[in-house]
Amino acid sequence: MNTKKFKWIIIYLFLVFFLSWGFDWLVVSIAGMDDFFILSATPWGMLVPAFVAIILQRFFFPHSKIHYKKYNKKPVWIFRGFLILTVLYAGVVLISAISMKIAPTLLKLGVLLFTLWTLSIFWVMGQTDQKSFRKIGLSLGKVNTGEKFIAGIVLFFILQAGLNLIFHLGYFPGRSDHIYGLPVPSWLYFPAMVIIFVLVTVIGIPLSSLAGFFGEEYGWRGFLLGELIGWGRLKAVALIGFIWGIWHIPVIFRGNHTYPPTLTGLVLGIILFTLWGILQGYAVIKTGSIWIAAFMHGVVNSVYSFFITYVVKPEHKIFSFGLGIFGLLCLAFIVVMILFDPVWKKEKTAFMLVDKTSN
């Protein structure tokens, strides 16, 4: 890696950490920690990795395929819209922090902004061919392969829930009157749970919150992976996964993550993000799509949350399957298995997220 590229990677990481951690600190300073959770400030941090990557590529990297002097066709509106979304959402959170009385209304506006960005993607894709998206690294890629990854995630958490029950490490939390706020009659609870799981958990939530997941995946597994992949594919995705874990330190220490805000929780969190970062990077390399990785990210978050809320709640955050120590061992086994894939050993450094041959 040349000195110039290394310098820009350091600048990128500094800006991502500074903006995301700094914004959280600012909101906590204005509103306090209790209101910080109410304000849903965390999603803004998810937008930052892609926000910084897009800014650098559009305005500071003359060699970039999406530099403003090189590319201004219709697909670039996805990037423009994302920059606008990030700025507007920051404003929504900050104004809400200053005046908590109007926070509920403004936060609904924030949700609407996320949804509108997702809808804009479908509109732009309907107006443009896939070749144009491939030129700027936004191709849908191998969708069939992506579906297998998503099915694998669902199967993984089903297995983890079953293991928690078998080994008495978790329990069924009981029937609820509502699922995601939707009233469900007792006699219809289990069929409704399955339907809602498929339509809302696996499809609806990942799509409606796609902006946040795209924000992380385009930044980490799109831009940064493209910059580091010359080191070797496995080394790059593992390093990015580790950095991803470090980036989550404030989230873990605030106590709003799956792990307790302790040193043990921090170590487990970094292990989780390193392992899962390898899987996410593997998915990008195999499918050639950042969209599939973003959707996978959403499925992981929503499916895990659904299972521990409505299906099997772990007795202990650390000593359990799922995302506890035993679940991490299962995840590590999966990572070891995918290391046998020849895709890691290919001499070709680029995985063609961006079509480098097109002009």
Same-domain check for residues 7 and 120: yes
- Calpha distance 353→220 (Å, rounded): 13
Same-domain check for residues 118 and 154: no
At residue 359, the pLDDT reads 34
Same-domain check for residues 88 and 36: yes
At residue 347, the pLDDT reads 52
**What's the rounded mean pLDDT across residues 291-302?**
96
With a pLDDT cut of 90, the percent of the chain lying above it is 65
The answer to whether the beta carbons of residues 266 and 253 sit under 8 Å apart is: yes
- Report whether pLDDT(252) > 50: yes
For residue 313, give the 3-state DSSP assignment. Answer: strand
Same-domain check for residues 166 and 281: yes
Residues shown for the chain? 359
Structure tokens at 31: 């509103």
In one letter, which amino acid is 260?
P
- Report whether pLDDT(1) > 70: no
Q: List pLDDT tens digits, range 212-231.
A: 999 999 999 999 999 998 88
**What's the rounded mean pLDDT across residues 341-351?**
68
At residue 56, the pLDDT reads 95
**What's the rounded mean pLDDT across residues 318-330?**
95
Same-domain check for residues 191 and 334: yes
- Report whether pLDDT(87) > 90: yes
Of 97, 128, 159, the residue at which a domain comes to its end is 128
Range of the domain at 210: 136-359
Same-domain check for residues 164 and 275: yes
Taking alpha carbons only, the member of 350, 344, 347, 351 closest to residue 233 is 344
Q: List pLDDT tens digits, range 22-64.
A: 999 999 899 888 878 777 767 899 999 999 999 999 999 888 8
User: Which residues, other chains included, contact 192 with Cβ-Cβ below 8 Å and sequence gap of 6+?
Assistant: 179, 184, 185
Same-domain check for residues 227 and 357: yes
Of 84, 107, 128, the residue at which a domain comes to its end is 128
Q: List pLDDT tens digits, range 88-146.
A: 999 999 998 898 888 888 888 888 999 999 999 989 988 887 788 888 889 899 999 99
More confident residue, 12 or 175: 12
Same-domain check for residues 262 and 301: yes
* Confidence grade of residue 350 (pLDDT, cut at 50, 70, 90): very low
At residue 349, the pLDDT reads 41
Cα 212 to Cα 101, 135, 175, 202, 331, distances in angstroms: 25, 23, 31, 16, 24
* Confidence grade of residue 200 (pLDDT, cut at 50, 70, 90): very high
* Confidence grade of residue 353 (pLDDT, cut at 50, 70, 90): low
Same-domain check for residues 149 and 123: no
* Confidence grade of residue 356 (pLDDT, cut at 50, 70, 90): very low
Same-domain check for residues 104 and 166: no
Of 128, 155, 180, the residue at which a domain comes to its end is 128
Same-domain check for residues 194 and 107: no
User: For the chain, what is the domain count?
Assistant: 2
Tell me which of 15-19, 125-129, 214-218, 306-310 is least confident.
125-129
At residue 135, the pLDDT reads 84
Same-domain check for residues 202 and 341: yes
